[in-house]
Amino acid sequence: MGNQQFYEHPEEWPDVSVIMSLYNEEKVIQEKLERLLALDYPSDKIKMYIGSDCSSDRTNEIVASFAAKEDRIHFFPFKERRGKPGVVNDIADAALAERGNRDDHIFLVTDANVMPEPFTLKKLIRHFKNESITLVDSNMVNIGMKAEGISKSEKQYVSNEVQMKNWEGKIWQKMIGPFGGFYVIRSSYFSKVPPRYLVDDFYITMRLFEKNGNAINDLEAICYEAVSHDMTEEYKRKARISAGNFQNLKTFKGLLWPFWSGLGFAFLSHKVLRWYGPFFLILLIITGIVLAIYSSSFYVLLIGLIGLLLIGIPILDSILKALNINIFLFRSVTYFNMMNVALFQGFINYLKGITTNVWQPPKRN
């Protein structure tokens, strides 16, 4: 994919509509708007549709000041909270009404805290010279790591995710969902997200696959995002995403079949098996205990090792952290356990029923 050529003439580049939903993003929105305006892309081809979900800080003031000076920015300061998908749906409608619903009209869907390089948009858009490509995701690079938090473990996870998505795109053109922070999609393949759905980017991608679209990742299209350090904050985010994952699994379970197809295999192996990881761990513990009671000493050792992994190492990591000693391996085990507990919590939340998709932005570093 790195050999994909750019469009030869400025007039050949497709129209791009930036779709960005905001809520209380005063810490990052000025830099984000400056980065968007500095993108190396024909200026007459790009417009920005920005919606504020009833922000209560200085977000509206900052965006309005930019919009007053830059006619490419269309600002929608909504007066009632409706959640990110509702905002995205409304501003996407505005972009479609003005610029049309067609294959050569591209949506750039982005988050306020994700900062692109000037060349990133062109790196993404060039793939649309291939008519079979309908969505392209960027390479999310985490910055701001600190030894005392979970940021190094989170960065390792995100880096592995990006590489896996890139391979899925190369092999099958069926990347299973963008990160959501900075991706492009043909407007004709964009689907509105239903009320109360929590993971909009995954929903949009799976609807695209139902329309026989294709999705890839470009490692050369670099964006930066400050990684989370706080375990509690990350737990809340992952539990929310987990609940949204089970919403999407119910909606798109039909895409798991046939499981030997590229889409079915990638969906099952990359996502579904991971989402059920906590249940596999619970089953492992139960069977290990039963075998330890009724079988050989090997299983006693096995259940002891499981206990060390799930309980002992996190306790030791907590003690060492209090002493300002940070060991990456121990922190990664703690992070792994946190992720699985959050996945299980998300499943419980899903069973209880999702009543709202109104969100709070994570704490910015």
Q: State pTM to two decimals.
A: 0.93
> Cα(339)–Cα(61) distance, rounded to whole angstroms?
37
pLDDT along the chain (365 residues), means of 10: 72 96 96 98 96 96 97 97 93 97 95 97 96 96 78 86 95 94 97 94 97 97 87 90 97 95 96 96 85 78 82 90 89 91 97 86 60
- Beta-carbon neighbour count of residue 4 at 10 Å? 16
> Cα(305)–Cα(299) distance, rounded to whole angstroms?
10
Going 174 to 123 to 184 to 177, the CA torsion angle's sign is: positive
Ordered by where they begin, the domains of the chain are: 10-229 (3.90.550.10)
> Cα(251)–Cα(271) distance, rounded to whole angstroms?
14
User: Strand 182-186 relative to strand 105-110: parallel, antiparallel, unpaired?
Assistant: antiparallel
Residue 314 structure tokens: 């996190």
Digit-coded pLDDT (tens) for 127-184: 999 999 999 999 999 888 776 677 888 888 889 999 999 999 999 999 999 998 999 9
Query: What's the mean per-residue pLDDT of the chain?
Result: 92
* Residue 223 one-letter amino acid: C
pLDDT of residue 19: 98
Residue 22: its H or E element: strand 15-22
Contact 180, 107 (CB under 8 A): no
pLDDT of residue 362: 62
Contact 153, 146 (CB under 8 A): no
